[in-house]
């Protein structure tokens, strides 16, 4: 057969082509089972991909943190610190026990300056005007029945921060009469009209 469909020398040539064919009932069932298996395989591969992507992201985060640590030359660690009083400056200093570097400081209140007895540090002289005390007055040191401190040091410091912040908020007082000033915009629960 020529390319245009005519026969060559009177002989027929056989050629195969992809053409639609009607499926039998058995073939339809077999194709349906194959499709279901394929769907299950797709779901499994997607779940594997999510797990793999999660592992990749975890490793990327770890790599980035390590790169930052290497670049900075330091990393965050738990370090024991101690509160020390520097009475000459009227400050409580929180210092690292490993390097004696100051982490933070807070002003002493009246009870700190008058009520607590100071004693020298066990580690020797901490410098002029600096003594180590049991703890600053802003820490809660009350004991429970077992003799244990009620809260951890970090919880006490957080409570002290809250107490210090709250003590800084004072009501506005009228300069003329010394009475608290009402909030602007409302009078007796109603809006004030100008």
> Rounded to an integer, what distance in angstroms lies between the CA atom of residue 59 and that of residue 65?
10
Distance between terminal CA atoms of the chain? 103
User: For 88-105, what is each residue's pLDDT tens digit?
Assistant: 888 899 999 999 999 999
User: For 119-164, what is each residue's pLDDT tens digit?
Assistant: 545 444 444 455 555 456 555 444 444 444 444 556 666 666 666 6
- The pTM assigned to this predicted structure is 0.40
């Amino acid at each position: 057969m020529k390319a245009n469909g005519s026969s060559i020398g009177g002989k027929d040539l056989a050629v195969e082509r992809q053409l639609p064919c009607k499926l039998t009932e058995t073939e339809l069932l077999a194709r349906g089972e194959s499709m279901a298996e394929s769907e299950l395989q797709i779901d499994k591969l997607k779940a594997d991909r999510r797990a793999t992507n999660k592992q990749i992201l975890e490793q990327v985060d770890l790599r980035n943190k390590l790169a930052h640590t290497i670049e900075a030359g330091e990393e965050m660690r738990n370090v024991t610190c101690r509160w020390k009083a520097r009475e000459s400056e009227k400050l409580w200093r929180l210092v690292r026990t490993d390097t004696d570097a100051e982490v933070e400081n807070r002003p002493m209140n009246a009870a700190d300056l008058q009520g607590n007895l100071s004693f020298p540090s066990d580690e020797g002289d901490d410098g002029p005007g600096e003594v180590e005390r049991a703890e600053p007055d802003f820490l809660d040191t009350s004991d429970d029945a077992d003799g244990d401190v009620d809260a951890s040091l970090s919880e006490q410091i957080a409570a002290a921060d809250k107490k210090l912040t709250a003590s800084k908020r004072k009501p506005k007082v009228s300069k003329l009469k010394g009475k608290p000033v009402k909030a602007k915009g409302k009078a007796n629960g109603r809006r004030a009209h100008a």
